[in-house]
Structure formats: C-alpha cells, structure tokens
Amino acid sequence: MIYLISQAYIRENSPVTENVQEKDLFPHVIAAQSNYTQKLLGSNFYDEILLSFSAQTLNADEIALVENYIKPQVMWRTVSLALPWMANNLRGKGVLRNTDENAVVSSFQELNYLRNEAQNRAEFQEQLLFDYLAKNVELFPGYKTQIDPLIDKSEDNNQYDNGIIFY
C-alpha cells in the first residue's frame, strides 16, 4: 500500500501525539486516501499520483499539489476517521474502552466535538484542493480526463473557471 503521509508528518502537523501507535492510525490513512482523496482527484489521476509518488517521479507541479494540498487533506481526514477508534478497541469480548489509571476518558460529546473539528478541517482542505485543481487544471493532464468533454462552456450564460466533475 502506498501512503501519501507518514506518522511523522501526522505528528508534526496535527494534535496526534507520539503515544498513538502506527497500527492504530494507518488503517485510517488508507480509508482517507481511498474514500476521500480518490473521490476528489478521480480514480485515474489518483492512481497516477500514487504511482509517481511511490516511484519518486512527481514533477514540480505535482510535488506542490501533494505537499500543499493532498497531504493536509489526507492528514485531517485521517484524524477525523481515527478519533472514534482511538478511544475504543474491538476485542473478542466486544468493544472495549481504552483506559489508563491516570487518564480520564472523554465523554461522547467531547469526542464528537473533536471529530467535528477534524472533519471541518478536512473539508476545508478538500475545498482548497478542489479549488486549486480547478484553477490549475492545465498543469495536470491526468486530472483533465475527469472533466466531462461534452460540456461546452461557450453556450453557457454562466462562465465559470472551475471544471465540473462527475462521480
């Protein structure tokens, strides 16, 4: 599996601390990438970015896209997805709450607040990514294939700079 972000990146750029283990976090990175990033980029462009990222063959525009837009989006979406699972574990006896003798477990309302904050940040980053791609579509030929070629903007009274993407 190709991860666009590392545990170090998450720790340096989010409230996730060194106490969070990689095994508890990285299933959510995969979910963030495949469920959200892929939807934003389109499957073809997403696969192209992943392969180039893995092979370290991204061009300068793609590096800027990944570093400034995709990584923050994946990180905040990962935090949002991981929060409910960090307080609980699925065990043979059912769902168990993680506790420490010196820790106080957050209430459902507190956990929900934190998750909403992470989701808001993820959605903000997703909008930034979408807007950046729409304004710079000529830099990313793989992304252009996601735009419906049948749309003729010249006949439309509302001239928009953004492309329309169908999922």
pLDDT tens digits along 136-161 = 999 999 987 555 443 334 444 445 45
Q: How many domains does the chain have?
A: 1
d(CA 130, CA 160): 14
Residue 163 lies in a domain: no
Residue 82 lies in a domain: yes
Per-residue pLDDT, 98: 57
Find, among 151, 146, 150, the residue nearest to 48 by Cα. Answer: 146
Residue 161 lies in a domain: no
Per-residue pLDDT, 157: 45
Residue 160 lies in a domain: no
Burial 12-28 (b: 16+ CB within 10 A, else e): eebebeeebeeeebbeb
Per-residue pLDDT, 62: 98
pTM attached to this predicted model = 0.76
Per-residue pLDDT, 115: 86
The list of the chain residues with pLDDT below 70 reads 87-106, 145-167
Per-residue pLDDT, 101: 59
- Whole domain around residue 90: which residue ranges? 7-155
